[in-house]
Copies of this chain bind each other. A is one copy, B any other.
Amino acid sequence: MNSGINRDEFEPTAQRNCDSQMETELLCPKGFRNLLPETDTFIFDADGVLWLGDDVIPGAPQLLDFLVKNNKRVIVLTNNATKSRAQYARKLASLGFSSKLDKHLIVNPAAVVADTLYRAGLSKNGKKVYLIGAKGLNDEMDNLGIPYFGHGPQLEDDSDDSAIMYAIKLEEEPSKVGAVVVGYDRYFNYQKLMKAANYLQQRRCLFLATNEDETCPGPNPSIIIPDAGL
C-alpha cells in the first residue's frame, strides 16, 4: 500500500498514474476517497514506508492518524525479525505516530514465530527452542513463556581443527530440543550451523525461519548485508 500521499487533504500534486490501467494502481486522491468508505483495515509495511532508518517518511504519521481518527483499523506489518513488537511500538511513538498504534496492531516475524511455537506446545512440553536470531525473537518468546537457548555470541571452542570433527559438543541433548528457529543473527557461525543441523535430524524437531530475505536494506545500497534467507 502506498502511503506517500500529499498531506493537504490528500490532494494530488499531479495526476500521474491516476487513470492508468496498471495491474496494481498507484493510489490517487480520487481513488483514495472512493476506497475509504468501503475499507475497514489498512495494512502498512514499516521500513521504507513509515520510516527509513531513523527518519520518518514525510506525511506517514498524518495519514495513519487520519485513518485512526476515522475508525479504520491500522496494522503495521514488517518482515524485519530483529526487533519485538514492543520495540516497534516505541519506535512508532518516537517518530510521532498515533499513540493508539500499540504493539497489538503490529505484526512481525518474531511474534509470528513465537506464536507458532506456542501453538505447537513449546511452552509446556518440556522441550527448548534452539534460537539463531536477534534480540526481538528472545523478547517475543519470553512473552509467551517459551524456553530457548543459543541466542547471542557462541562461546569460543578452543579445540583444534581435527578435534572439532571428532568430538562435537552439542550443548543440549537433541531429544530436549523441540524446534530450531533461524533469523538474522550477527553472531551466526559454524558452531551454530552444526548444532542446528544435528538437532534437526530428529523427526519431530520443528524448523522455522523468520524471513526469506537474502539481504537487509541498509543506508549504503552498494554494501550487501546478508539476511536470514541467504
Chain A interfacial residues counted at CB < 8 A = 35
**Whole-angstrom CA separation of A156 from B187 in the bound complex:** 9
Q: Is the CB of B164 within 8 A of A186?
A: yes
Cα A164 to Cα B227 in complex, Å, equals 12
**Interface positions of A from 134 to 181, Cβ below 8 Å from B:** 134-135, 153, 156-157, 161, 164-166, 168
Q: A153-B156, A156-B153 are in contact. Are A225 and B189 (CB under 8 A)?
A: no
One complex includes copies of this chain to the number of: 2
Main secondary structure of the interface of A (DSSP, over half): loop
Q: Is the CB of A226 within 8 A of B193?
A: yes
Contact A198 B186 (CB under 8 A): no
Q: Which of A161, A168, A220 has the most CB of B within 10 A?
A: A161
Q: Are B189 and A190 in contact (CB under 8 A)?
A: yes
A219 contacts partner chain B, Cβ-Cβ < 8 Å: yes
Decide if A194 touches B156 in the complex (CB within 8 Å): no
Question: Are A186 and B197 neighbours in the complex by a CB distance under 8 Å?
Answer: no
Task: Report whether B82 and A223 are in contact in the complex, using a CB–CB cutoff of 8 Å.
Answer: no
> CB < 8 Å: which of B153, B190, B219 contacts A187?
B190
Q: Is the CB of B201 within 8 A of A168?
A: no
**Are A165 and B197 in contact, with the CB atoms below 8 A?**
no
Top-10 shortest CB links A-B:
A189-B189, A188-B190, A197-B224, A164-B186, A198-B224, A186-B190, A193-B226, A165-B218, A168-B223, A165-B225
28 residue pairs A–B, Cβ–Cβ below 8 Å: A82-B161, A134-B161, A135-B161, A153-B156, A157-B186, A165-B216, A165-B218, A166-B218, A168-B220, A168-B223, A168-B225, A186-B190, A186-B191, A187-B190, A188-B189, A188-B190, A188-B193, A189-B189, A189-B190, A190-B226, A193-B230, A194-B225, A194-B226, A197-B215, A197-B224, A197-B230, A198-B223, A198-B224
By a beta-carbon cutoff of 8 Å, the part of chain A in contact with chain B is 53, 82, 134-135, 153, 156-157, 161, 164-166, 168, 185-191, 193-194, 197-198, 201, 215-216, 218-220, 222-226, 230
